[in-house]
Amino acid sequence: MRCLVTGATGYIGGRLVPRLLAEDHTVRCLARKAGRLRDVPWSADVEITEGDLSRPETLPAAFDGIEVAYYLVHSLGRADFEALDRAAATNFATAARAAGVRRIVYLGGPEPPADDRPSAHLRSRAEVARILLASGVPTAVLRAAIIIGSGSASFEMLRHLTERLPAMVTPRWVRNRIQPIAVRDVLHYLAGCAALPAEVNRAFDIAGPEVLTFGDMMQRYAAVAGLRRRIIVPVRPLTPSLSSYWVGLITPVPNAIARPLVESLIHEAVAHEHDIAAFVPDPAGGLTGFDRAVRLALTKVRDAQVETRWSTASGPDASAEPLPSDPKWSGGSVYTDLRERAVAAPPAALWQVIEGVGGEHGWYSFPLAWTVRGWLDRLIGGVGLRRGRRHPHRLYVGEALDFWRVEEIVPGELLRLRAEMRLPGRAWLEMRAVPAGDGHSRYLQRAVFLPRGLAGHAYWAAVAPFHAVVFGGMARNIARGAEQM
């Protein structure tokens, strides 16, 4: 089928596109600026059309020849987001009807109880659903609560609150029941809705297999992430408005986004039906449990961030990997120290120095600091520097190197080491030799630290002042060593 995806630069849209491509659909993406999709791994496999849902005159070309149109946009983060979303949905519906689109698919939010005063966020989501259902084009509205996956704003709030606060005073809504769903299952239903019968024009609840409270999710997240059980004390005075400022202070999620999301948490969000399964069968193996969804998000995104690459895979777990279009505040905390030096020597000479690191050769800077770090590691039960290296000039993947492990090596180009010293987190050190022409080269060095809990953030803050001496000196001396060969 010929599918149009709006919101392809967003969290869900950017992950739905490769799923649709894997199922042999032809995909067109509507974006205000095509350049925002330049670096995503699937950009060469789709048609990108520039247009703006707030400007109806830009839409006919995007909808021309389209059979299924996905509405995956919202204006959350703007003070007037309700009015903007209302206008965008109306323009989308009008353009879809005029172009003869056969199906609209919309991912919305949970339906709050009728006797509650819904938050502005849920009220707007419900209004968009009504507009699309009344468009004259058969529409499927999927109503999801919290989506578990790295990059989801709600998940990022959960992640950072849990990781950064071993003890917290919380609003009472942490006891409200929620039925979260893994992003891989959301994408399964979205893609499946492309083939719904023409007579289907309704909303469906989609949810994972477990009903939890927000407090339960924080405790379960902590267990999966290897953190101690969190101390959570719910209190009455923290209103949604006050708690949204608290979330904005503790997490990197912008307050303009955090506030409407937090206000939505005053409503319980439990699925009332599972009718979607009659049209789109559940994923093979069943719906993804909360713990597994968290584990996928943590493992996939952390490995990808360390390697600074984006997978082109289209399998069910690829949705957990990061995209260049994800917001900067998504993906968890990653601390980096980057160093670069021009080297007046060929890459081969530079690589010889890089591969000689550790053991008797040392670490090329501030020997006392490395020695003290090794002693401290042994005092707390770590391996210290005593392992050395097996060969004075050659390294191999998997071998020990002092208190590091060789994780990846591309001869002449790349050495990546994974830390095995005792740390409140995970750490890597990467060194590269890059040709620069005229017999010269560039040395690239990157240290990456993924903190675990508040102790991890405190550790990085404590050692960061010494990085200029340790890592800066290391880069200078490696470059100098290559030039003197």
pLDDT in tens, 379-430: 777 777 767 777 878 888 888 888 888 989 999 999 999 998 888 888 999 9
Q: Radius of gyration (Cα) for the chain, nearest Å?
A: 25
pLDDT greater at residue 66 or residue 438 = 66
- Tell me the pTM: 0.73
pLDDT at 244 (0 to 100): 66
Mean predicted confidence (pLDDT) in 281-309: 75
Q: Could you report the per-residue pLDDT of 132-142, keeping only the tens digit for each?
A: 999 999 999 99
| Residues with Cβ within 8 Å of residue 397, at least 6 apart in sequence | 406, 407, 408, 409
pLDDT at 81 (0 to 100): 85
| Residues with Cβ within 8 Å of residue 192, at least 6 apart in sequence | 279, 280, 281
Mean predicted confidence (pLDDT) in 260-285: 88
pLDDT at 26 (0 to 100): 97
Q: Could you report the per-residue pLDDT of 46-65, keeping only the tens digit for each?
A: 999 999 999 999 999 999 99
Query: Dmax of the chain from CA atoms?
Result: 78
Q: Closest Cα partner for 179 from 199, 207, 154?
A: 207
Whole-angstrom distance, CA of residue 241 vs CA of residue 244: 5
CA distances from 218 to 157, 210, 211, 212, 252 (A): 10, 14, 13, 10, 17
Q: Is the pLDDT of residue 301 over 50?
A: no
Q: Closest Cα partner for 178 from 149, 204, 215?
A: 215
Q: Are 443 and 475 in contact (CB under 8 A)?
A: yes
Looking at every residue in the chain, the average pLDDT score rounds to 86
Tokens representing residue 80 in the block: 């007037």
Whole-angstrom distance, CA of residue 368 vs CA of residue 373: 8
Strand 425-437 and strand 440-451: the pairing is antiparallel
Q: Measured at the alpha carbon of residue 343, what is the angle toward residues 341 and 345, in degrees to the nearest 5?
A: 160
Q: Are 102 and 136 in contact (CB under 8 A)?
A: no
Q: Is the pLDDT of residue 308 over 50?
A: no
CATH C-level class of 335-483: alpha beta
Q: Is the pLDDT of residue 234 over 90?
A: no
Categorise residue 331: left if φ over 0, alpha if ψ from -120 to 50, beta otherwise.
left
List, in sequence order, every residue forming a beta bridge with 28; answer none if it has no partner: 4, 47
Phi and psi torsions of 309, nearest 5°: -145, 165
How is residue 251 annotated by DSSP?
S
Whole-angstrom distance, CA of residue 336 vs CA of residue 135: 49
CA distances from 124 to 111, 190, 264 (A): 11, 20, 11
Computed from CA positions of residues 448, 227, 292, 177, in that sequence, does the dihedral angle turn out positive or negative? negative
How is residue 149 annotated by DSSP?
S
How is residue 230 annotated by DSSP?
P
Question: 257-283 burial by CB neighbour count: b if 16+ within 10 A, else e?
Answer: bbbbbbbbbbbbbebeeeebeeebeeb
Give the position of tokens 């009015």. 83
**Domain extent listing, the chain:** 2-320, 335-483
- Virtual CA dihedral for 23, 28, 30, 31, nearest 10 degrees? 90
Q: Could you report the per-residue pLDDT of 172-225, keeping only the tens digit for each?
A: 778 889 999 999 999 999 999 999 999 999 999 999 999 999 899 999 999 998
Q: Are 335 and 460 in contact (CB under 8 A)?
A: yes
CA distances from 371 to 358, 368, 375, 463, 470 (A): 12, 5, 6, 15, 12
Is the domain 2-320 a CATH 3.30.1120.10 member? no
